[in-house]
C-alpha cells in the first residue's frame, strides 16, 4: 500500500472541525482544500494558523461527496500524520473514520530519544531536514512538506533496524504502543527529565495526573517513572 501523508487545520481544540486539509499520496503532488466550518473558529486557533472566518466565507462546506472521497483515500492508503490521534479525531468529526496508521511523533520519540522536543517544526531544524524555506508552519500544505521530509528521514532510521519491506509495519507497531516521554516540553519544567521531577516535585506530578485532558503518552510516562522511582 501507498502512504497518505496529511495535515489539518481546524476551528480549535474544543470540538475541532476541519477548515483546511493537505495530503500527499505516495510520490504524487500535494493536494489541499479549504472548507467553511459548521462552527465558529476559536480565537486561539486563529492566532496559530491565521485563518479567519472571512477567509473561508466563499469556501464550500464539507459535503457528503468530500466525506466519501476522503474515506476512500484513507482506506486505500496508510495514513501518516504528526500526532496522528488528533488528526484522526478531526476527520472523525467530519464523518471520515480512519483506522490506524503511522504517527511520526511517536516514531520520532522511539527512534530519536535524545531530542529535546518533538514538535515537527523543531525536528525540521534539529535534524537538518531539507525543506523549502517557504513551507509555512501551521499551514496544512506547509506542514505536509515538512512531514514528507520527516517521514523519509524516519523511514531510513527504522530501515537500519529492520528490512525495507518491514519498515512500514514497524512504524505502525511503534504507533500502536505507548510512547515513553522522558522530558517535559512545556510549563515550568520544560526541558527537564521527568524522572528528576518525580523525585523533586512529586506534587506537580500528582496534579498533572489528575488532569482529564492529559496526553495519553504523557500519562503513561508519568506513571512509568512514578512506579520506577
Dihedral sign from CA coordinates of 51, 57, 63, 68: negative
* Strand 18-25, strand 78-81: pairing: unpaired
Rounded-to-integer distance, Cα 114 and Cα 182, Å: 9
Do 139 and 72 sit in the same domain of this protein? yes
Residue 181 domain flag: no
* Same-domain check for residues 137 and 101: yes
Residues 12 and 58 in one domain: yes
pLDDT digits (tens, 9 = 90+) for 206-221: 999 999 888 888 899 9
Confidence check: pLDDT of 116 > 90: no
Q: Residue 45's pLDDT is what?
A: 95
- Any domain includes 95: yes
Instruction: Give pLDDT tens digits for 157-177.
Output: 999 999 999 999 999 999 999
219 and 126 assigned to the same domain: no
More confident residue, 42 or 192: 42
- Give me the domain span that covers residue 139: 3-175
| HSE-CB of 214 using CA atoms within 13 angstroms | 17
pLDDT of residue 70: 97
Strands of 102-103's sheet, edge to edge?
31-34, 18-25, 3-10, 78-81, 102-103
Q: What pLDDT, on the 0 to 100 scale, is given for residue 179?
A: 84
> Are residues 220 and 120 part of one domain?
no
Question: Among residues of the chain, what percentage have pLDDT more than 90?
Answer: 80
In a domain, 16, yes or no: yes
Please check whether residue 180 lies inside any domain of the structure.
no
Amino acid at each position: 500500500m501507498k502512504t497518505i501523508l496529511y495535515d489539518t487545520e481546524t476551528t480549535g481544540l474544543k470540538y475541532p472541525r476541519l477548515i483546511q486539509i493537505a495530503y500527499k499520496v505516495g510520490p504524487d503532488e500535494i493536494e489541499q482544500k479549504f472548507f467553511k466550518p459548521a462552527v465558529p473558529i476559536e480565537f486561539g486557533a486563529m492566532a496559530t494558523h491565521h485563518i479567519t472566518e472571512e477567509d473561508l466565507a466563499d469556501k464550500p462546506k464539507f459535503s457528503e461527496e468530500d466525506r466519501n472521497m476522503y474515506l476512500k483515500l484513507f482506506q486505500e492508503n496508510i495514513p501518516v500524520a504528526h500526532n496522528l490521534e488528533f488528526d484522526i479525531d478531526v476527520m472523525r468529526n467530519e464523518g471520515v473514520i480512519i483506522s490506524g496508521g503511522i504517527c511520526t511523533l511517536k516514531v520520532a520519540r522511539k527512534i530519536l530519544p535524545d531530542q529535546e522536543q518533538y514538535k515537527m517544526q523543531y525536528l525540521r531544524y534539529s535534524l537538518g531536514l531539507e525543506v523549502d524555506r517557504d513551507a509555512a508552519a501551521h499551514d496544512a500544505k506547509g506542514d505536509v512538506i515538512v512531514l514528507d521530509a520527516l517521514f523519509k528521514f524516519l523511514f531510513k532510521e527504522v530501515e537500519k533496524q529492520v528490512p525495507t519491506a518491514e519498515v512500514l509495519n514497524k512504524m505502525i507497531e511503534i504507533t500502536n504502543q505507548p510512547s515513553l516521554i522522558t522530558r517535559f516540553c512545556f510549563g515550568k519544567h520544560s526541558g527537564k527529565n521527568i524522572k528528576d521531577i518525580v523525585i523533586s516535585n512529586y506534587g506537580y506530578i500528582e496534579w498533572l495526573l489528575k488532569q482529564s485532558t492529559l496526553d495519553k503518552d504523557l500519562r503513561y510516562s508519568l506513571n512509568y517513572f512514578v512506579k520506577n522511582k
